[in-house]
Amino acid sequence: MVKGYILIRLIPGLETEALNQIRTVPGVVDLTLVFGGWDAVVHAEAKTLPALTRLVVAQIRGIQGVQATETLVAAEL
């Protein structure tokens, strides 16, 4: 299982609908609103790295109201 943390910047005025849609994306485990340079952090899981990539690129970035994302892939030492 590949775990990722997706930092999301939202477009003002479209936050509520975008957040509701993000919560319904398969693989999204948790969504937390934050203050600072980003508006939300999503914890997501996928079977493979390419599957996590598709989750971010094809699903989350395609939601109206999502302005930008940055994905942090969890690592094990």
pLDDT by residue for the chain (77 residues), tens digit each?
999 999 999 999 999 999 999 999 999 999 999 999 999 999 999 999 999 999 999 999 999 999 999 999 999 88
CA-wise closest residue to 19 among 53, 54, 66: 66
* Residue pair 32/40 in contact by the 8 Å Cβ criterion: yes
Domain count, the chain: 1
> Which domain, by its residues, includes 16?
2-73
Angle at 54 between CA 48 and CA 55, to 5 degrees: 90
In this prediction the pTM is: 0.94
* Residue pair 25/60 in contact by the 8 Å Cβ criterion: yes
The CATH number covering residue 38 comes to 3.30.70.920
